[in-house]
Amino acid sequence: MAESRISIRGISARGRHGANRGEAEEAQDFVVDLDVTVQVSGDSLDATADYRALVGAALHAVEATSGVLLETVAQNVARGVLEIGGVTGVTAVVHKPRAAASLEVEDIAASATIG
């Protein structure tokens, strides 16, 4: 089996994460980028990780949980993606555009790498 890397950029999600008042109550925009290492055993869809499953795991981690730290959100995304068959490693980057705008910076993001 060979290892390959799948990159997915710009997964848009809405979630309730943050340390400021109201952030855990009102959904905000988040953007997730994934770099996923997979074992590829042949030239068929069954031989690699399903892109839809990767995106779905990222969406679920952002939308179905609530937390304080952006770093925790990134860790939850990475853990969820790592559970998908064929995935041997992942780096998840979670961007929080609204936080960046309030601080007058271009971007605020946290990343987590597993595997």
pLDDT of residue 100: 67
pLDDT of residue 44: 80
What is the spatial distance between Cα 84 and Cα 99, in angstroms, rounded to a whole number? 30
Mean pLDDT for the stretch of residues 7-35: 93
User: pTM value?
Assistant: 0.92
* Bridge partners (DSSP) listed for residue 94: 32, 110
Q: 13: pLDDT confidence band, cut at 50, 70 and 90?
A: very high
pLDDT of residue 18: 87
- The total number of structural domains in the chain stands at 1
Q: 109: pLDDT confidence band, cut at 50, 70 and 90?
A: very high
Give the total residue count for the chain. Answer: 115
pLDDT tens-place string over residues 46-100: 778 999 999 999 999 999 989 899 999 999 999 999 999 999 999 999 999 988 6
Position 9 pLDDT exceeds 80: yes
In which domain, by residue range, is 64 found? 2-114
- Which CATH number goes with the domain that contains 65? 3.30.1130.10
CB atoms within 10 A of CB 9: 10
